[in-house]
Amino acid sequence: MDYLVIEGYKSAAEEFSQEANLMPPVDFESIESRMDIREALQRGDVEDAITRVNDLNPEILDTNPALYFHLQQQKLIEFIRQGRVAEALEFAQEELAPRGEESPEFLSELERTMALLAFEASASSPQAISELLSPAQRMKTAGEVNAAILESLSQGKEVKLVGLLKLLCWGESMLEERIEFPKVDLREGLLSLDTLKVEDMMQE
């Protein structure tokens, strides 16, 4: 349920809730709202995403200046992506520059984003700059927004299943240094078992 809610699988979460007779940790409508916001960011419509976040809970952006800055930064990136240079410069000067003066971290991010204008037509642009135009940057911003909304709903922002898998991998790596044991093959979703070794271990 935790995985379905955090990752935004609304219909699957509803069915799972009914079949397992579990109370959902959040209102299912909030899942749909989060997914609408994520989709808006993935298609580059930052203004729509901001409007939807404010409709859901205006305090989210009011109390999280870093998140609001990153949304404004994403909006600047979208201006540059569309070749709207004049609008990008005006937006950066009016909206982002004042925030950059308040925080060295914001200023560094703004400078990196503005460097896109200098390297726009160049194939030799540094990776740290060119990656701002990648779909991964939109996903990163969407992930931040999703986490902030979940936090406002008093819901965990990281999937527990992912944490358990990381713990499993860590545990296996620690055991591997000491003994031979049956391992979980995460790629195949199967246990890679050596029956004789398992029997030997059990006898020991």
**Residue-level pLDDT at 198:** 42
Q: Structure pTM?
A: 0.70
Range of the domain at 171: 165-203
Q: What is the pLDDT of residue 184?
A: 67
List of the chain residues with pLDDT < 50: 121, 189-204
Q: Are 96 and 73 a contacting pair, CB within 8 Å?
A: yes
> Is residue 157 domain-resident?
no
Q: Are residues 115 and 78 in the same domain?
A: yes
Whether residues 127 and 188 share a domain: the answer is no
What pLDDT was estimated at residue 145? Answer: 94
pLDDT given at position 171 = 85
> 58 and 128: one domain?
yes
Do 147 and 182 fall within a single domain?
A: no
Note the pLDDT of residue 125.
63
pLDDT of residue 100: 81
In terms of domains, do 61 and 95 share one?
yes
In the prediction, which pLDDT does 8 show?
A: 80
Q: How far is CA 130 from CA 72, 121, 134, 148, in A?
A: 18, 11, 7, 26
